[in-house]
């Protein structure tokens, strides 16, 4: 049995499995084993979890930028809301929320809550472009009535809105297609008025990386006009959030109810 | 006020990541703010993973952006995306922080030893900590595609087969780059690593 090739020794140093014959040779050959351990030192020094590719993002505290501005002298600044919204909390909620999402034992909502996608504002801009592209290709025209005729249209998709984070909010949503081809999202929300701010309705992608703001929703029933051409296959998740009155149009990250249209 | 913050106007079309990278390299200050908006949470996530939340992680994140900005001449957009480069800078800052802590530990131990027994030698350097700084520097000297390949092996935990799939390079090419890079790092450790620890 010949010695292992240099390539095999390198792969062994990375702890990759070798072909059977090479592995058998390596096990009994001091020379090859010695070379693997020399090569492996670099692997053990660098391939440590702390240096691995980035894991879950964590929004840095807002004050951190000041030090960067001071050290670099730049006069620009990131928008704090965008930075804060670029990371979910340490306790992540699954991205795809078809089932009721009630995370176990999360005593109080963190400063940033689970659903904010990366850079919501940009996603929204992308979305605008995407929506423009799919005009006329939406599911509206050919959709089959799922639950019969409403008084002013046909419900073509429905969702049950389940509470998030023990919010106590729940409800339902339906996409209603009217005779002229326009669609509305009808949201029925059962919730107490929020202690501060207001509720806002959104449509999200399943991965929660894109979102469409629909507007202010109060407990009770509200209709929201859907943008023409919006592909509900792409934005199938109905989300209700609490938004502070801070003038920032981005999603606050504090969702109270969610459900998937089907 | 020393600095006047100028947030980007709402509603202004934002450039894509490539454009941000290009403008960052060109020294456009707005690009630093955009890069921070987009990548600070990734960088800070790495720092928090290494040091836990708190001052050490915050220092690392701050240093990454400061030194990325001041060292932007070393970033070449054609060599890879900006966030990947920032990740590399972050690895250096994490390793530097470990090394600094090690120096502080040795200084403290030396002071203690001095007090207890004046004949005791200096506390030993943590060889792994020093090697890490050395080898991260060596990675910076690798060209592409060698660097990208070994980073996928070390930091993304991909097998050589997965790396070949990811990069589209032939399997044999990937294997031979891995071998040559590991041999290079081995030599660096055995020559300079030993001198460093002596």
Q: What CATH number is given to the structural domain containing B24?
A: 1.10.1740.10
pLDDT at B44 over 50: yes
pLDDT of residue A39: 97
| Residues A40/B185, Cβ–Cβ less than 8 Å | no
**Range of weakest confidence among A71-80, A192-201, B52-61, B72-81:** A192-201
Say whether B156 and A52 touch across the interface (CB within 8 A): yes
pLDDT of residue A233: 84
Chain-centroid distance, C-alpha A167: 20
User: In Å, what is the CA distance from B77 to each residue of A54, A122, A217, B26, B42?
Assistant: 20, 21, 45, 10, 19
DSSP B89-134: HHHHHHHHHHHHHHHHHHHHHHHHHHHH-TT--PPPP-HHHHHHHH
| Residues A165/A109, Cβ–Cβ less than 8 Å | yes
Beta strands in chain A (DSSP E): 149-150, 153-163, 170-177, 183-190, 198-204, 211-217, 220-225, 237-243, 255-260
Say whether A76 and B33 touch across the interface (CB within 8 A): yes
The reply to whether A46 and A111 lie within a common domain is no
Q: What is the CA radius of gyration of chain A?
A: 26
CATH of the domain at A133: 2.60.40
A60 CA: distance to closest CA in chain B (Å): 6
The reply to whether B111 and B136 lie within a common domain is no
| Residues B186/A45, Cβ–Cβ less than 8 Å | no
Residue A256 confidence class, pLDDT cut points 50, 70, 90: confident
pLDDT of residue B196: 57
Any chain A CB within 8 A of the CB of B97?
A: no
Which region, left, alpha or beta, applies to residue B93 given φ > 0 means left and ψ of -120 to 50 means alpha?
alpha
The reply to whether A172 and A45 lie within a common domain is no
Distance between CA A62 and CA A259 in Å, rounded? 32
pTM exceeding 0.80: no
- Number of domains present in the structure of chain B: 2
The reply to whether A14 and A98 lie within a common domain is no
Selecting from B3, B37, B46 the residue whose C-beta is nearest the C-beta of A83 gives: B37
Residue in A80, A58, A89 with CA at minimum distance from that of residue B50: A58
Residue B121 confidence class, pLDDT cut points 50, 70, 90: low
pLDDT of residue B194: 56
Q: In chain A, helix, strand, coil percent, each to 5?
A: 25, 25, 50
Residue B59 confidence class, pLDDT cut points 50, 70, 90: very high
The reply to whether A19 and A146 lie within a common domain is no
Distance between CA A206 and CA A128 in Å, rounded? 17
pLDDT at A209 over 80: no
Distance between CA A70 and CA B135 in Å, rounded? 31
pLDDT at A253 over 60: yes
Higher pLDDT among residues B192 and B160, named by residue: B160
pLDDT of residue A152: 66
Chain-centroid distance, C-alpha A161: 18
The reply to whether B137 and B198 lie within a common domain is yes
Q: Which of B124, B140, B174 corresponds to the end of one domain?
A: B124
β-partners of residue A150 are A153
A196 is in which domain, residue-wise?
94-260
Please compute the mean of the pLDDT values over residues B90-112 and round it to a whole number: 90
CA atoms lying within 13 Å on the CB side of residue A147:
14
CA atoms lying within 13 Å on the CB side of residue A236:
16
B184 is in which domain, residue-wise?
125-198
Residues of A in contact with B146 (CB under 8 A): none
Summarize pLDDT for A92-150 with one digit per residue, the tens: 444 443 333 333 333 434 343 344 333 333 333 334 444 444 433 333 333 333 334 44
Say whether B41 and A49 touch across the interface (CB within 8 A): no
Q: What angle do CA B27, B31, B34 make, to 5 degrees?
A: 160
Specify if A115 maps to a domain: yes
- Which residue has tokens 């979910």? A88
Say whether A77 and B33 touch across the interface (CB within 8 A): yes
Mean pLDDT of chain A: 77
Please compute the mean of the pLDDT values over residues A151-174 and round it to a whole number: 81
| Residues A77/A69, Cβ–Cβ less than 8 Å | yes
Say whether A50 and B155 touch across the interface (CB within 8 A): no
pLDDT of residue B123: 65
Specify if A247 maps to a domain: yes
- Which positions 57-76 of B are in contact with A (Cβ < 8 Å)? 58, 61-62, 65-66, 69-70
Distance between CA B121 and CA A149 in Å, rounded? 88
User: Count of A–B CB contacts within 8 Å?
Assistant: 182
DSSP summary character for residue B12: P
ipTM of the complex: 0.87
């Amino acid at each position: 049995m010949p010695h292992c090739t240099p390539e095999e020794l390198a792969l062994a140093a990375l702890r990759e499995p070798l072909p059977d014959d090479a592995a058998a040779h390596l096990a009994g050959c001091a020379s090859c084993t010695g070379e693997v351990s020399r090569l492996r030192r670099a692997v053990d020094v660098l391939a440590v979890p702390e240096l691995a590719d980035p894991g879950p993002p964590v929004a840095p505290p807002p004050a951190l930028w000041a030090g960067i501005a001071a050290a670099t002298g730049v006069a620009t600044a990131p928008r704090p809301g965008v930075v804060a919204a670029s990371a979910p909390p340490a306790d992540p909620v699954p991205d795809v929320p078809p089932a009721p999402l009630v995370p176990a034992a999360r005593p109080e909502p963190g400063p940033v809550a689970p659903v904010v996608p990366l850079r919501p504002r940009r996603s929204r801009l992308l979305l605008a472009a995407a929506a423009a592209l799919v005009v006329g290709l939406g599911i509206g025209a050919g959709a089959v009535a799922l639950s019969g005729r409403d008084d002013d249209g046909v419900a073509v998709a429905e969702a049950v809105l389940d509470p998030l984070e023990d919010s106590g909010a729940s409800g339902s949503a339906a996409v209603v297609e009217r005779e002229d081809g326009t669609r509305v999202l009808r949201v029925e929300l059962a919730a107490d008025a929020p202690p501060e701010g207001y509720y806002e309705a959104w449509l999200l992608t399943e991965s929660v990386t894109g979102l469409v703001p629909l507007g202010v929703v109060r407990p009770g029933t509200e209709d929201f006009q859907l943008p023409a051409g919006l592909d509900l296959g792409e934005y199938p998740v109905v989300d209700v959030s609490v938004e502070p009155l801070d003038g920032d149009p981005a999603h606050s990250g504090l969702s109270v109810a969610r459900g998937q249209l089907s | 006020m020393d600095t006047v913050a100028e947030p980007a106007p709402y509603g202004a079309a934002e450039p894509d990541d490539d454009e941000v990278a290009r403008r960052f390299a060109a020294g456009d200050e707005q690009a630093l703010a955009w890069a921070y908006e987009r990548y600070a949470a990734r960088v800070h996530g790495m720092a928090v993973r290494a040091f836990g939340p708190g001052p050490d992680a915050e220092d690392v994140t701050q240093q990454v952006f400061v030194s990325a900005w001041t060292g932007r001449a070393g970033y070449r957009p054609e060599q890879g995306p900006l966030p990947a480069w920032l990740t590399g800078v972050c690895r250096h800052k994490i390793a530097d922080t470990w090394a600094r802590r090690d120096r502080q530990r040795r200084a403290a131990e030396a002071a203690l030893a001095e007090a207890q027994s004046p004949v005791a030698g200096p506390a030993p350097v943590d060889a792994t900590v020093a090697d890490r700084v050395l080898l991260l520097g060596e990675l910076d000297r690798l060209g592409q595609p060698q660097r990208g390949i070994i980073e996928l092996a070390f930091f993304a935990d991909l097998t050589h087969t997965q790396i070949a799939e990811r990069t589209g390079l032939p399997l044999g090419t990937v294997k031979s780059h891995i071998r040559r890079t590991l041999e290079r790092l081995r030599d660096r450790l055995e020559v300079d690593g030993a001198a460093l620890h002596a």
